[in-house]
């Protein structure tokens, strides 16, 4: 976490204030509450946080505004660390760039559907997990033949380069499924709508966000047959154990005060996604 407060233009401050108003509502159950400071945290400072920019319901940038479950979670954690939402700088964290952002110092934290793996732990540290997703399939609404990966024989499946979802398909279905990779999920979804691919695979939470998006609603559906477990963690620069501990404490508060569930309901509840029980932060 950085201790210096950056200067910001008026427009940036206005946008940050709007995000704060939406994401840090306090009060009764069903709302995301304003957290207490975690032990060792002090008011002030700033954070640069990496998020996905093209995952509706999870991490989405639109006209300079940010929304989704990861954004809400990151904002809550930042406040628990003493950082005002106006002092968060959001940066794009595409799947293939997340480790680089942390290693180079371009991001202090990464909240970007970032699955915890032993391979990634060699490069970065993780707080969390704060969510457990399951790899699934997104298909066109009228498709009744695709019910899981085993029904994709001879079909074209789309995923994103550098993800655990793409790696799983290569390992388990090489030669059976044609895998088309793009840099971002939004490109996969557009290819699905255009008939260029037959399905999109990634975590069910991400797919539910696309299915719930206004422009896709009624056109796409999630198969609902998850076939892996993906534990989402908060990426932290390797060796910063103090920051990992503070983030874990913030995530525990997030779960305990009901904000975790409220954030999911607000973000993807409209898709019909079945909200699971929360994982236990601090077990990454």
Residue 12's nearest CA partner among 46, 37, 43 is 46
How is residue 133 annotated by DSSP?
E
Q: What pLDDT does residue 21 have?
A: 35
Helix ranges (DSSP H) in the chain: 10-23, 69-80, 98-104, 118-121, 164-173, 185-193, 204-212, 241-256, 259-268
Residue 72's nearest CA partner among 271, 269, 263 is 263
Report how far residue 117's alpha carbon sits from residue 164's, in angstroms, rounded to the nearest whole number: 9
- Could you say which of 1.10.10.10, 3.40.190.10, 1.10.8.80, 3.10.20.90 is the CATH number of the domain covering 10-133+231-271? 3.40.190.10
Q: What pLDDT does residue 273 have?
A: 80
Angle of CA points 224, 185, 61, to nearest 5°:
110
Low-confidence ranges of the chain (pLDDT < 70): 1-29
Q: Where in the chain is the domain with CATH 3.40.190.10?
A: 10-133+231-271, 135-222
Report how far residue 160's alpha carbon sits from residue 185's, in angstroms, rounded to the nearest whole number: 6
Report how far residue 241's alpha carbon sits from residue 234's, in angstroms, rounded to the nearest whole number: 12
Note the pLDDT tens digit of each residue in 61-116.
999 999 999 999 999 999 999 999 999 999 999 988 999 999 999 999 999 999 99
Which sign, positive or negative, has the C-alpha torsion 282, 76, 263, 233? negative
Report how far residue 103's alpha carbon sits from residue 23's, in angstroms, rounded to the nearest whole number: 28
How is residue 45 annotated by DSSP?
-
Report how far residue 70's alpha carbon sits from residue 150's, in angstroms, rounded to the nearest whole number: 31
Report how far residue 85's alpha carbon sits from residue 79's, in angstroms, rounded to the nearest whole number: 7
- Beta strands 47-51; 88-92: pairing state: parallel
What fold is seen in the domain 135-222? D-Maltodextrin-Binding Protein; domain 2 (3.40.190)
Length of the chain: 284
Q: Are 101 and 93 in contact (CB under 8 A)?
A: yes
Q: What pLDDT does residue 215 have?
A: 87
Q: What pLDDT does residue 190 have?
A: 96
Question: How many CB atoms within 10 Å of residue 40?
Answer: 12
Q: Are 207 and 158 in contact (CB under 8 A)?
A: no
Report how far residue 97's alpha carbon sits from residue 276's, in angstroms, rounded to the nearest whole number: 29
Q: What pLDDT does residue 29 have?
A: 59
How is residue 86 annotated by DSSP?
G
Reading the block at residue 15, the tokens are 């946008």
Backbone angles phi, psi at 163, to 5 degrees: -105, 160
Note the pLDDT tens digit of each residue in 251-274.
999 999 999 999 999 988 777 788
Q: What pLDDT does residue 212 have?
A: 84
């Amino acid at each position: 976490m950085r201790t210096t407060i950056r200067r910001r233009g008026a427009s940036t401050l206005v946008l940050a204030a709007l995000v704060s108003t939406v994401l840090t509502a306090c009060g009764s159950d069903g709302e995301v509450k304003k957290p207490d400071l975690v032990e060792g945290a002090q008011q002030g400072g700033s954070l640069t946080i990496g998020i996905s920019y093209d995952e509706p319901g999870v991490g989405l940038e639109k006209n300079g505004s940010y929304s989704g479950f990861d954004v809400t979670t990151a904002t809550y954690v930042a406040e628990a660390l003493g950082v005002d939402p106006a002092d968060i700088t959001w940066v794009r964290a595409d799947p293939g760039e997340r480790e680089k952002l942390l290693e180079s110092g371009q991001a202090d934290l990464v909240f970007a559907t970032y699955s915890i793996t032993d391979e990634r732990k060699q490069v970065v540290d993780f707080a969390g997990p704060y969510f457990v997703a399951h790899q699934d399939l997104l298909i066109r609404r009228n498709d009744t033949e695709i019910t899981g990966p085993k029904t994709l024989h001879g079909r074209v499946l789309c995923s994103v380069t550098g993800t655990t979802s793409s790696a799983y398909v290569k390992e388990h279905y090489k030669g059976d499924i044609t895998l088309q990779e793009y840099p971002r999920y939004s490109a996969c979804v557009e290819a699905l709508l255009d008939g260029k691919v037959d399905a999109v695979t990634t975590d069910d939470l991400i797919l539910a966000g696309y299915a719930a998006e206004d422009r896709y609603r009624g056109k796409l559906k999630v198969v609902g047959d998850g076939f892996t477990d993906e534990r989402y963690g908060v990426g932290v620069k390797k060796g910063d154990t103090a920051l990992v501990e503070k983030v874990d404490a913030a995530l525990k508060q997030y779960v305990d005060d009901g904000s975790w569930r409220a954030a999911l309901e607000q973000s993807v509840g409209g898709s019909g996604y079945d909200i699971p029980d929360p994982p236990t932060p601090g077990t990454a």
